[in-house]
Structure 1
Amino acid sequence: MFDETDSRLLAIVQRRSDITAQDLGAELNLSASQAARRRARLEQAGVILGYGARLDPARLGLTVQAFVQVQMAAHNADNAQSFARLVSTLPEIVSCWTLTGEADYLLRVWCPDLQALNRLIHHRLLPHPAVARVQSQIVMDQPKADAGLPV
């Protein structure tokens, strides 16, 4: 379905989503119109879901990154939907995954300080009736930055 040029194109746009068709074509040894058509085809196929900017958390006053594991009180569709609604309303939660194992959810959160993390856990997550237990791990360092998918 994808050839080597498509894979290279995907790697390039993951690193630099604002690249022009001219520059993309130059990197792929294609004309700008050929590069633009390939990118458009991958967008229309749903391979490229969108484009975004990477922001510096520290410059935005976000100094605490944490991973929060949530264990549900009971496993049923109503609890799952109710918890998903709560998560969608909390901007501090930037990612949410359902898991196998002891924890049911893993949340990635960014907060301005430890007090804000404490409020998120104790005033928003723990009071939710579907939540039985919350455990957090504060990120000390990130030796490898978020990366694109391996293409």
Structure 2
Amino acid sequence: MNMKLDRTDKLILNLIQENGRISNLELADKIGLSASPCSRRVKNLEELGLIDKHVTLLDQAKLGLKLTAYIHISMDRHTPERFDNFEAEIAAIPDVMECCIITGSDADFQLKVIVPDMEHYQELLLGKITRIKGVTGVKSSFMLRNVLSRTVLPLDHIK
């Protein structure tokens, strides 16, 4: 669904993506509105579902979560029931940060997991992921260094 966003809406979305803790007063000042219309616009953007949720990003390395792995998962059957079961079981594992159905490779899913170390990774992989019914293949890659990580969606292409 494409929504028409004016310049002010885009500015609001950019500013709150960059700083989720920005006060309504500061936001209003930066976009050139008074506080009440600014608050109404933010509320409208939330009601439209453009603002999904407000989060705080943590430093995973400082928390001791030093290993990021990308795991390609192959399934034995491509049925809705098999995929639904896999997705439900994966959703229950807190170490799994992302789960995507993918194309262009032998894998059906790609997972992004974050764990403290290789020992925890092995426990996760062998103790949980490979035990999910239907998983027939697993291929892991490990992040050596994060070159770029963005959380701000580009709004330049939105009309």
- 2:82 aligned partner: 79
Deviations 1:84-118 (A, max 9, x none): 11101110001111111321111111001011111
- 1:129 aligned partner: 133
CA distance in 1, matches of 2:141, 2:150: 18
CA distance in 1, matches of 2:102, 2:50: 24
Where does the alignment leave 5 or more consecutive residues of structure 2 unmatched?
A: none
- 1:146 aligned partner: 150
Q: 3-state SS of the aligned residue for 1:59?
A: coil
Q: Does 1:56 align with 2:59?
A: yes
- 2:28 aligned partner: 25
Tell me how far 1:32 sits from its aligned partner.
1.5
Tell me how far 1:123 sits from its aligned partner.
1.6
Question: Could you tell me which amino acid in structure 2 is paired with residue 110 of structure 1?
Answer: I
More deviation, 28-37/63-72: 28-37
Cα RMSD after superposing both structures: 1.0
- 1:118 aligned partner: 122
Q: Does 1:88 align with 2:94?
A: no
Question: Could you tell me which amino acid in structure 1 is paired with residue 113 of structure 2?
Answer: V
Deviations 1:29-72 (A, max 9, x none): 11121211111110111111110100111222211011111011
Which 4+ residue blocks in structure 1 deviate beyond 3 angstroms?
A: none
CA distance in 2, matches of 1:137, 1:53: 27
Tell me how far 1:146 sits from its aligned partner.
2.6
Tell me how far 1:129 sits from its aligned partner.
2.2
Question: Could you tell me which amino acid in structure 1 is paired with residue 111 of structure 2?
Answer: L
CA distance in 2, matches of 1:129, 1:85: 12
* TM-score, scaled relative to structure 1: 0.95
Question: Could you tell me which amino acid in structure 2 is paired with residue 105 of structure 1?
Answer: F
- 2:48 aligned partner: 45
Question: Could you tell me which amino acid in structure 2 is paired with residue 86 of structure 1?
Answer: E
Q: 3-state SS of the aligned residue for 2:128?
A: helix
1:4 to 7, 17, 24: 7
Q: 3-state SS of the aligned residue for 2:110?
A: strand
Question: Could you tell me which amino acid in structure 2 is paired with residue 127 of structure 1?
Answer: R
Q: Does 1:109 align with 2:113?
A: yes
* TM-score, scaled relative to structure 2: 0.91
